[in-house]
Structure formats: C-alpha cells, structure tokens
C-alpha cells in the first residue's frame, strides 16, 4: 500500500482541500491545492471525476450481476458486441498480456478451468487515470492547481504550479503497515502497489487461476497509473523472477518486498532523447 504524506508549506501557503468518496468498493480521495482549491467550481470538477468513476464501476463491476462485464463473464453477452469502452479495456488487457509476457490477463481460469472475463486488474488504474486526466482539464480554466488522487493506495499526481512543494508518497511495509519503507517526492506520475497486506491473497495467476503469494508486495512508479498498476500486478505474479523484466521497462522503477521482508529496488531503462 501507498499513502499521502502532507508536504511542508510552499513559498505561498495556498488553499488546499481534500475530497473523499467510496467508489469501486474502495475509499478514493482527491487532493487539490491552488488559489481556488476551496471554491465551489473545484468541488464541482472533483464531483464530476467521482461520477466518471462511478460510471466505470457500473460498467465493469463483477459484483453487479447485470453489469456489461458480468454479462460477458458468464457468457450472456459477447465481447465483440460490447460497449466500445469495454472493448477498449479488453484490448488494453491484451496489450498488457503482451507487455508482461503473460503475467497479466483479463481471462482467468475459473473453477471448471474455462477462462472467464476479469479485467479488474487493469480497470481500476485505467479508470482512475482517465478520471484524473479529465479533472485536470476541468481545473485548467480555474488557474494553476496541483492535484493528487489516491485510489485505495494507488496514487497519481500532477503539479501545474512552480511555487509548491512536491507531493510526498509513502510506501508502507506490507508486514507492518504502521511502518514506512520509503518516501517518494513526486511532481507528476503514479505509484501503484500490489500485495496481500490489505486484501489478502486476491491476486491470481492468469495461467492457473490460483492465488499468488511469492512476494509480500510489489510497488511500481511510472508516468501513468494504468501501466504502473498493471506492472505492479504482473511483478507480484512473477515474484522475484520479475527483477530482470522490470529492469527493461522504460521510465519505470519498482520496489519489491519479499515474504521475509527483504527489499529489492529496480530501476528501469530511461527513454532516449
């Protein structure tokens, strides 16, 4: 898990406000700082972001038996006939499978061994990134504001100001969640963690459908939340064998925590130019 630490005041102690909602079964928070952070216009922009997330929850939730994703999962509907947004996510999941060497998939074997549609490993990060991008566009006419979204511990940040401190993100120790392993100072980008500390053994091996437990946690830092989240999940599935693969990922870094508490930091390749 990751969390937000309050930064020290900047040269201008600008207004800031936090907004919290329960979406996708998780507490999600949005933090905004800037001259109009406490205004009704900012509150409306954040409310729209939460509404966007609720629309994706209604479309992709596998807890809702009549959601489009559930109907594909149980065979009532065909993916080929699904809403364009569902087909887009399925295509991203296919790409994720290619990028992770099969350590990620939206088709997980069920109890009978047949693959069942489950894009949830990508949907949360993607939906949050989409909503966060829309929020930044709505904030733009209101002046320069910094923003951060925390979705159950997965975090995306953006700073449009130059007179503010970095956002500070803490990576928890999965064996003792009161302890911080690392802190990260970020002005843009995303941090995602996969592990068993918060939700137990819920990450499944896409090949067998069985829960994975080789690591305590895998955290990935990158430019965007969609792929940071996918890569964190894939790294957790791969276990310690993920180290070499993570080192090939451009503009990403990772922190792996083994079951015995041993930590390994991996720096990915830098893009040329």
Tell me the per-residue pLDDT of 189-209, one tens digit each, with 9 for 90 and over: 999 999 876 666 678 999 988
pTM: 0.92
33 vs 187: CA distance, rounded Å: 13
Residue 7 has pLDDT above 90, yes or no: no
Beta bridge partners, 17, equal 32
User: What's the number of CA atoms in the CB half-sphere (13 Å) around residue 97?
Assistant: 16
2 vs 173: CA distance, rounded Å: 9
Report whether 268 contacts 249 (CB < 8 A).
yes
Query: CA 124, 127, 133, 134 torsion: positive or negative?
Result: negative
Round the average pLDDT of the chain to a whole number and report it: 92
Residue 257 has pLDDT above 50, yes or no: yes
């Amino acid at each position: 898990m990751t969390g937000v630490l309050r930064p020290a005041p900047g040269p201008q102690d600008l207004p800031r406000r936090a907004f919290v909602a329960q979406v996708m079964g998780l507490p999600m928070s949005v933090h905004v700082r800037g001259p109009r952070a406490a205004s009704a216009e900012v509150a409306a922009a954040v409310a729209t972001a939460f509404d966007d997330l609720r629309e994706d929850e209604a479309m992709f939730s596998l807890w809702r038996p009549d959601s489009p994703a559930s109907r594909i999962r149980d065979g009532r509907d065909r993916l080929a006939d699904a809403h364009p947004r569902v087909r887009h996510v399925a295509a991203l999941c296919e790409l994720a499978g290619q990028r992770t060497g099969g350590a990620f998939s939206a088709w997980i074997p069920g109890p009978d061994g047949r693959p069942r549609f489950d894009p949830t490993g990508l949907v949360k990060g993607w939906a949050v990134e989409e909503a966060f991008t829309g929020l930044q566009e709505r904030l733009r006419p209101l002046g320069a504001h910094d923003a951060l979204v925390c979705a159950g511990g997965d975090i995306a940040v953006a700073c449009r100001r130059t007179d503010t401190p970095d956002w500070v993100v803490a990576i928890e120790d999965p064996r003792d969640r009161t302890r911080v392993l690392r802190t990260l100072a970020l002005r843009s980008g995303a941090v995602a963690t996969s592990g068993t500390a918060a939700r137990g053994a819920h990450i499944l091996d896409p090949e067998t459908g069985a829960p994975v437990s080789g690591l305590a946690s895998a955290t990935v830092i990158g430019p965007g939340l969609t792929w940071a989240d996918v890569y964190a999940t894939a790294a957790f599935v791969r276990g310690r064998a993920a180290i070499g693969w993570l080192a090939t990922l451009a503009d990403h870094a990772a922190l792996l925590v083994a079951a015995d508490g041993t930590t390994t930091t991996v720096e990915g390749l830098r893009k040329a130019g």
